[in-house]
């Protein structure tokens, strides 16, 4: 690894965080990681990274700290307090939060960090587990241009579409819109799948031709096999999409934007979660449509 590259601390090694941190190791970065699961730390070590025993240990010598955790409460838990990032990272470091959280949480974090001389970018991603593994994520960023420019090489090791969307919180606002579009798209695909199957059409052939026209989408490309084989192993869990639909509907209400279709899909996601499917991939919205259509699941 190059000694000219910044030293990175990575906090949160889940479905997305593990492959993303490993891609930085492959790109030559010195990555020290911390998470609560020992097997995830072992995975990072096997990939060439370093495991830390605490947040403080992970961030102490870091030039850049990257966080990838489930939601706002987890971001606040790792950022604040005597054992958190802000108390233990050196002044001048860059904190990049790649979690999907509320825009206000990102704004508040940036303000608290600035008081300690720490710069912050909110940089949530889209592309799911496959995009993380393949380093083709879309990365939507909020923060200062100079900080974005410094972080650009890191982002380029993780994704393909990398855009500074505006000031702090802007990345999270764009991510909320992304999650709205994805959820509505999955729901539409799920309804089409049930309609096609009940009509006796060859589903695989139908999805192939649909994906070649205006109805085609990254969702349909990525989730086609999930639909065909009812494979709902989580790439992005319903639980997390439920959280994100709460973020977008709340943020939209605050700015006076009506989301009539989004509100319905948010309730469908909530209903699926209430039925015990929160740990499944969000393509499992198909299960809800099947239940409504009389299937016994």
Tokens representing residue 104 in the block: 């206000």
CB 96 within 8 A of CB 69: no
> Per-residue pLDDT for 2 more than 70?
no
Backbone angles phi, psi at 22, to 5 degrees: -65, -35
> Per-residue pLDDT for 3 more than 70?
no
Tokens representing residue 119 in the block: 């710069």
DSSP state of 237: B
Q: Which CATH class is domain 173-292?
A: mainly alpha
Compute the C-alpha angle 91/33/6, nearest 5°.
50
Q: Which pLDDT score, from 0 to 100, does residue 22 have? A: 98
* pLDDT tier for residue 10 given thresholds of 50, 70 and 90: very high
Fold match, 8-167 / 173-292 = no
Cα separation, 202 vs 286, whole angstroms? 17
Nearest Cα to Cα of residue 19 among 42, 47, 39: 47
H helices of 2-144, where?
Answer: 17-26, 38-47, 55-59, 72-79, 85-88, 103-114, 128-134
Active site residues: 175
In CATH terms, the superfamily for domain 8-167 is NAD(P)-binding Rossmann-like Domain (3.40.50.720)
Mean pLDDT of 284-296: 94
Write down the domain spans for the chain.
8-167, 173-292
Sign of torsion over alpha carbons 219, 221, 222, 227: positive
Q: What is the pLDDT of residues 134-146, one digit of tens each?
A: 999 999 999 999 9
Q: Which pLDDT score, from 0 to 100, does residue 295 have? A: 83
Compute the C-alpha angle 34/38/42, nearest 5°.
85
């Amino acid at each position: 690894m190059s000694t000219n590259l910044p030293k990175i601390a990575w906090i949160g090694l889940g479905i997305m965080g593990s492959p993303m941190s490993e891609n930085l190791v492959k790109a030559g970065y010195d990555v020290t990681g911390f998470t609560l699961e020992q097997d995830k730390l072992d995975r990072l070590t096997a990939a060439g990274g370093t495991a830390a025993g605490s947040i403080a240990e992970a961030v102490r010598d870091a030039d850049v700290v990257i966080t990838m955790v489930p939601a706002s409460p987890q971001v606040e838990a790792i950022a604040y307090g005597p054992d958190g990032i802000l108390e233990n990272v050196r002044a001048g470091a860059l904190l990049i939060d790649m979690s999907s959280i509320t825009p206000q949480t990102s704004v508040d974090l940036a303000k608290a960090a600035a008081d300690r001389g720490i710069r912050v970018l909110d940089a949530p991603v889209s592309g799911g587990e496959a995009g993380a593994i393949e380093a083709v994520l879309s990365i939507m960023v909020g923060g200062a241009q100079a900080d974005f420019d410094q972080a650009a090489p890191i982002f380029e090791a993780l994704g393909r579409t990398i855009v500074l969307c505006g000031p702090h919180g802007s990345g999270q606002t764009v991510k909320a819109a992304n999650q709205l579009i994805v959820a509505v798209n999955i729901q539409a695909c799920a309804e089409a799948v049930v309609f096609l199957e009940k009509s006796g059409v060859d589903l695989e052939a139908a999805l192939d031709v649909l994906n070649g026209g205006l109805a085609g989408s990254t969702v349909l490309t990525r989730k086609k096999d999930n639909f065909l084989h009812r494979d709902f192993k989580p790439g992005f869990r319903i639980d997390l999409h439920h959280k994100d639909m709460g973020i977008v509907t709340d943020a939209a209400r605050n700015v006076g934007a009506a989301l009539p279709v989004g509100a319905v899909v948010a309730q469908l996601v909530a209903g699926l979660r209430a039925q015990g499917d929160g740990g499944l991939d969000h393509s499992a919205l198909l299960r809800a449509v099947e239940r409504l259509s009389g299937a016994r699941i």
